[in-house]
Amino acid sequence: MTEEETKGNMPEKKFRCGGITATVWSNTIIKDGENKKYHSVNIEKSYKDKSDQWQKTQSLSIKDLPKVALVTAEAYKYLTLKTE
Q: How many domains does one find in the chain?
A: 1
**Enclosing domain of residue 72:** 3-83
Considering the entire predicted model, what is its pTM? 0.80
pLDDT tens for each residue of the chain, 84 residues long: 455 554 567 999 999 999 999 999 998 888 888 888 889 999 999 999 999 999 999 999 999 999 999 999 999 999 999 855
Cα separation, 14 vs 31, in Å, equals: 27
Q: Which pLDDT value is given to residue 37? A: 87
Cα separation, 34 vs 23, in Å, equals: 26
- Burial (CB count within 10 angstroms: exposed 0-12, middle 13-18, buried 19+), residue 4: middle
